[in-house]
Amino acid sequence: MRRLTTLTLIFLACLGAARSPTTVTAKDLIGTWKLVSDVNTASDGHKVEPFGPTPEGTAIFDSGGHFAIVISRPDLPKFASDNRMQGTPEENKAIVQGSIGFFGMYAVADGVLVQHVEGGTWPSWIGSDQKRTIASFAGDEQTWTTIASFGGNSVLRWRRVK
């Protein structure tokens, strides 16, 4: 029988830290996560980063099944009026297209995160269940795939905040 080297043992320990998406539970998500990237692929294969190459985003999951997610471009314009109720059509368009926020309840089963949206900035999602497939989950990093609110498929990478 061969002896396991230290390097082999470390490698096997690292493999053990990775969770199969189907074994991820709601408890595994508890905490705060920072968005690393969001890449959308349209039906024609064209790729776009809807929140830019360095998106800003936070996802918070609590032990009671509540969640809140806010994502935005880092280059959102300031309103010339300094009053969010008096934005120009161009300013309002930039904000709507460059940010999204929603909250509600969540559950995880069979590698799928289901978010029941109770409120947010995209009214079409309110009252709906949004499904995100957990494509990978390893320690403090996870990747979701989903159908985007503007079409196509998005891949979102998250890193746990410590």
Who contacts 162 (Cβ-Cβ below 8 Å, separation ≥6)?
140
- Give the model's pLDDT for residue 54: 96
C-alpha span between 8 and 119 (Å, rounded): 48
Q: What is the structure's pLDDT at 20?
A: 75
pLDDT at site 149: 83
| pLDDT averaged per 10 residues, the chain (length 162) | 42 50 90 97 93 97 98 96 96 96 97 97 96 95 92 94 95
Question: pLDDT for 39-79, tens place per residue?
Answer: 999 989 999 999 999 999 999 999 999 999 999 999 999 99
Q: In this structure, what token pair is assigned to residue 153?
A: 């498929």
On whether residue 15 sits in a domain, the answer given is no
114 sits in the region (left: phi over 0; alpha: psi -120 to 50; else beta) called: beta
Residue 4 maps to a domain = no
- Is the residue at 152 inside a domain? yes
Q: 93: domain range? A: 20-160
User: Would residue 68 count as lying in a domain?
Assistant: yes
Give burial (CB, 10 Å; 0-12/13-18/19+) of 61: buried
pLDDT at position 11: 40
Let me know if residue 6 belongs to a domain. Answer: no
Looking at residue 8, its pLDDT comes to 40
87 occurs within a structural domain? yes
The CATH number of the domain where 131 resides is what?
2.40.128.280
pLDDT for position 37? 97
Q: Indicate the number of domains in the chain.
A: 1
In a domain, 109, yes or no: yes
Helices (H), 30-143: 89-97
Q: Does residue 13 belong to any structural domain of this protein?
A: no
**Residue 26, by phi and psi: left (phi above 0), alpha (psi -120 to 50) or beta?**
alpha
On whether the CB atoms of residues 33 and 58 are closer than 8 A, the answer is yes
